[in-house]
Amino acid sequence: MMNIEGMQPLSLEQAQGMDGQPVWYKQMKQWFIVSINHKIWGDCIIGANSYASLENAVERGLYAYPPVTIDREALNCAGCDYLDRECVPCAHCIRAAGYADYYKPQEASE
């Protein structure tokens, strides 16, 4: 179940702009997908085993999924953090792109 405390319900205009996106339908206490211009039901929300008109659903409370925020600085591999901040980053480390030119394989010198 989603905690909607402190969240504002979507307006009809906001919901219409969310075609194909998930919304929490307060009355049914489950996730639905917004469908605009559905060939049978028109503007609606579609759930696992039910649907509702978008207009009626908005009146009863629709909520958008809160955006996810990621702290990119915290995304380091365990190996890089274990050694130190100046280590050669692994291929999966977010810092690897900054070191790509420096750590290119060197041609053998004679």
The tens digit of pLDDT for each residue in 18-41 reads: 999 999 999 998 999 999 999 999
pTM summary value:
0.58
Report the C-alpha gap between 72 and 92 in whole angstroms: 13
Average pLDDT, the chain: 75
Strand blocks (E) in the chain? 22-25, 30-38, 42-46, 51-53, 62-64
Percent of the chain topping pLDDT 70: 57
Residue for token pair 């979507």: 10
Report the C-alpha gap between 28 and 58 in whole angstroms: 12
Q: Which helix (H) or strand (E) holds 98?
A: helix 96-99
Give the burial class of 91: count Cβ atoms within 10 A of its Cβ; 0-12 exposed, 13-18 middle, 19 or more buried: exposed
For the segment 51-63, the average pLDDT, to the nearest whole number, is: 95
